[in-house]
Amino acid sequence: MIEEDWHPSRDAVALAPEYHQVLFEDEDIRVLLVVLNPGDAEPLHHHRWPSVFVFDKMDRIKDYGADGGEQELMLPPAPIVALFAPQRTHRVENVGTSPLRGVRIEFKRNQLAVETNAILVP
């Protein structure tokens, strides 16, 4: 992983503050409220730390990589708990009919060892 890939100017809060609200932050974790209404599309950004994401609303989203790759995700009904490895530059578009809303807990000291993304359905 190249350090330039994680430049602070490309962080989700820096580039998409209207979609990523910091609820709490200290030297160990950052807690974000993430909300995208139907039709909303974030700008390109990254998430440099592994995280636990608890969605309480969501139906369909598209995730676009910086390289132009596209993946549509149709997830089971919320609530959903997801584990995310650090996410390289990407953007998300809500192509569903309900808001995407959740709380993302980012582990700044990489205390959460996540190699690949996983969805945990309660």
pLDDT in tens, 29-77: 999 999 999 999 999 999 999 999 999 988 889 999 888 888 887 777 7
CA angle, residues 50, 54, 57, in degrees to nearest 5? 135
Question: HSE of 3 in the Cβ direction (CA atoms, 13 Å)?
Answer: 0
Global pTM reads 0.86
Do 19 and 40 meet the contact criterion of CB atoms below 8 Å apart?
A: yes
pLDDT in tens, 76-114: 777 888 888 898 899 999 999 999 999 999 999 877 777
CA angle, residues 113, 78, 102, in degrees to nearest 5? 60
Helix (H) or strand (E) holding 8: none
Region 3-120: CATH code: 2.60.120.10
CA angle, residues 38, 85, 9, in degrees to nearest 5? 70
Q: Tokens 């636990």 appear where?
A: 52
